[in-house]
Structure 1
Amino acid sequence: MTTGDLMTSQWQELGAPGGIEAYVHRPEGEVRGAVVVCSELYGVNDYLRGVCAELAGLGYVAVAPDFYWRSARRTELGYAAEEREAGLVLMRALDRDELVADAAEALAAARGLAEGRGVAFVGTSMGGHIAVRAATELRFELAAVFYPGWLLNSGFPLVGPVPPLETAERIAANGVYLLGFCGGLDHILPLEEWQEAERRLTAAGVEHELVTYPGARHGFAADRPADHDAAATADAWQRVHEALAERL
């Protein structure tokens, strides 16, 4: 970290002492809004902190909640097989209602830091799911999600008995614009499921745009060489930046 980074980024409690914390990165200049940055299963690691730094560089306060806090504090995992397994254990311990409560805490903190501007949720994989779930329960301006899992199917406690797009009409009622990205070769979020998500959102009257990158895999925007797709990543983030500028 540079000296400037140390001055603008820190961990802080979001609500009651001993509760959820978030890694918060503030811009050095004018605040253009706030973004709740939801991690994939690896926690608030170097990659996610880098995303926060980039958003702060554009003028947004980045708030990255530690959703694993009940099991392990300030988790930051790498991509080795054993670390992925550790992340899966933590992910399977997450509870839907607790996640919604944590998302609400993060939203309240982001509203307080946004200086009167709007708030977005941005998430990748597990974090994308959390952002969509938050949109069914909370009011904010934008959800930008990369390859979000379990939109239409359950099976994990974090999803609960009703997957988020079963109640897509709540996203419309909350006024959240949904911008989503998926790779055509995604093995976790198959193209047929992505297309069904499109139909559900349209039928529910959700303002949205879902983008598919034909040759990209799950995790194409992350910093894992086997999955990374530079062209898809650049295009997706450009769309996110435009949506943030327009809606916040």
Structure 2
Amino acid sequence: MGSTITIDALDGSGSFKAYVAEPSGTPKAAVIVIQEVFGINAGIRDKADSLANEGYLAVAPDLFWRIEPGIELDPDTQLQQALDLFPKFDQQKGIEDIEATIRAARAKAGGGKVGAVGYCLGGRLAYMTATRTDIDASVGYYGVGIDGLLNESHAIARPLMLHIPTADGFVPPEVQNKMHEGLDSHPRVTLHDYEGLDHGFATQFGKRRDEASATLADGRTSAFFAEHLA
């Protein structure tokens, strides 16, 4: 189902690869799949394939191309290697690359709406995409450090959904509380808590996955996109 395309960076510094999964017919819309710190690995590709099965053109850009192009890591065995990449990643350049991907996806899908869904680092970037781009709808799973970005919440002009596991080792309760305090009253933001679950509960593969809650969260995401990308 999947293929690879090349997207030019907006700053003219080079180009990067993106995994693309296409539906069997005309796409309902396009969805950008924003990676975790593990790169465009089998789990992210499978997320894209699942979206294509729902009728979307799914595009997963390699946002670590400026650090190590094409890196793929296993969340269960290479966590430290992934965490070592995080401080090297230029998040503003990452948003620029997501913007370039939005444009490419919109063109490839023949115009129309574009959504985004991200995980971990990608959950943070999904929030930033909602505040800094013209994305039509965004979803973030266990986004890290969003409390430090709440001063951008006034710029959220399109619907945003965030999935928050309450026992997230990377997002402690005080951070979760700040997220709720800063976003619960926002008319375009929906937050869902998942009691007792840890970071990565909705991963496609591996030890972190909680089947029931992943199915619940993904169902909410599907309904969200069906409503806002129609």
Tell me the TM-score normalized by structure 2. 0.91
Aligned to 1:19: 15
1:133 to 2:128 alignment: yes
Give the letter for the 2:16 counterpart: I
Contact kept, 8 Å, 2:30 with 2:59, in 1: the verdict is yes
> In 2, Cα distance between the equivalents of 1:116 and 1:11?
20
Shift of 1:25: 1.0
Aligned to 1:36: 32
Give the letter for the 2:120 counterpart: S
- The worse-fitting range, judged by mean Cα deviation, of 69-78 and 183-192 is 183-192
Spell out, residue by residue over 1:155-203, the C-alpha distance to the aligned partner (whole angstroms, 9 max, x if none).
xxxxxxxx322211111xxx22111111121111123322321221245
CA distance 1:224–1:28, change in 2 (3 Å): closer
* 1:20 alignment partner, SS class: strand
Contact kept, 8 Å, 1:38 with 1:64, in 2: the verdict is yes
2:213 to 205, 229, 232: 232
> In 1, Cα distance between the equivalents of 2:227 and 2:130?
18
Query: Percentage identity across aligned positions?
Result: 29
Contact kept, 8 Å, 2:131 with 2:155, in 1: the verdict is yes
Give the letter for the 1:140 counterpart: I
* 1:132 alignment partner, SS class: helix
Aligned to 1:242: 223
Shift of 1:223: 4.0
Give the letter for the 1:73 counterpart: P
> In 2, Cα distance between the equivalents of 1:168 and 1:216?
26
1:190 to 2:172 alignment: yes
Correspondence 1:199-238 to 2 at 5 A: 199-202=181-184, 205-223=186-204, 225-238=206-219
Aligned to 1:155: none
RMSD: 1.7
> In 2, Cα distance between the equivalents of 1:88 and 1:215?
23
> In 2, Cα distance between the equivalents of 1:184 and 1:52?
26
Contact kept, 8 Å, 1:178 with 1:206, in 2: the verdict is no
> In 2, Cα distance between the equivalents of 1:138 and 1:89?
28
Correspondence 1:42-191 to 2 at 5 A: 42-81=38-77, 83-152=78-147, 163-171=148-156, 175-191=157-173
Shift of 1:225: 4.5
> In 1, Cα distance between the equivalents of 2:90 and 2:167?
29
Contact kept, 8 Å, 1:119 with 1:142, in 2: the verdict is yes
Contact kept, 8 Å, 1:122 with 1:131, in 2: the verdict is yes
Query: Runs of 5+ in structure 2 lacking a partner?
Result: none
